[in-house]
Amino acid sequence: MRLELMTSASRLRCRPCELYLGAATVQRRLHMYVCWDTNVYEDGLVAEWLEKVGIATVFYLSGPRAI
């Protein structure tokens, strides 16, 4: 399983002080996105947090399973 980070910039609005994580599956591919208040959260902090979410997702989807 491969996790690929794809970025795009848009000016989506979110409520003050909030951070949203969303996900969707399209054609058997998982897409994750995050929207946050840039006045509250630094880009680096959000990137670090999203990277950890990605690692946890890969582990959950491909990690060892109890039989």
Q: Using CA atoms, how far apart are residues 66 and 5, in angstroms rounded to an integer? A: 29
Tell me the one-letter amino acid at 42.
E
Q: How many domains does the chain have?
A: 1
- Residue of 50, 58, 47 whose CA lies nearest to 2: 58
Does position 3 have pLDDT exceeding 70, yes or no? no
66 falls in which pLDDT band (50, 70, 90)? very low
Q: Using CA atoms, how far apart are residues 65 and 26, in angstroms rounded to an integer? A: 25
Range of the domain at 62: 1-67
Q: What is the pTM of this model?
A: 0.63
Q: Using CA atoms, how far apart are residues 41 and 19, in angstroms rounded to an integer? A: 8
